[in-house]
Amino acid sequence: MLIDQAKVISDDGSTTEGEKIVYDTVKQVATAGRATGSPITTPRQRIDMVIPPKQKAQ
């Protein structure tokens, strides 16, 4: 679990940023949300996710 300015960068270049991220390393799934009850230095109203497009096969 990551709290406060949390950011996960996957091997494929996708990123997830937020106050709190729980990352399942086996399933490679990130769950992000508010860090309620935890002290944070940078409150974030939103979760930011960037998923790059797949390359076309040549």
The model's pLDDT over 3-45, given as tens digits with 9 standing for 90+, comes to 998 998 888 889 999 999 998 889 988 899 988 888 888 888 8
Give domain status of residue 45, yes or no.
no
Look up the domain containing 21 and give its range.
2-37
Kindly give, in sequence order, each residue whose CB lies less than 8 Å from that of residue 20, ignoring residues fewer than 6 positions away.
Answer: 1, 2, 3, 6, 32, 33, 34, 35, 38
Structure tokens at 12: 């494929």
Q: How far apart are CA 16 and CA 58, in angstroms?
A: 29
Total domain count, the chain: 1
Residue 28 lies in a domain: yes
- pTM value > 0.75: no
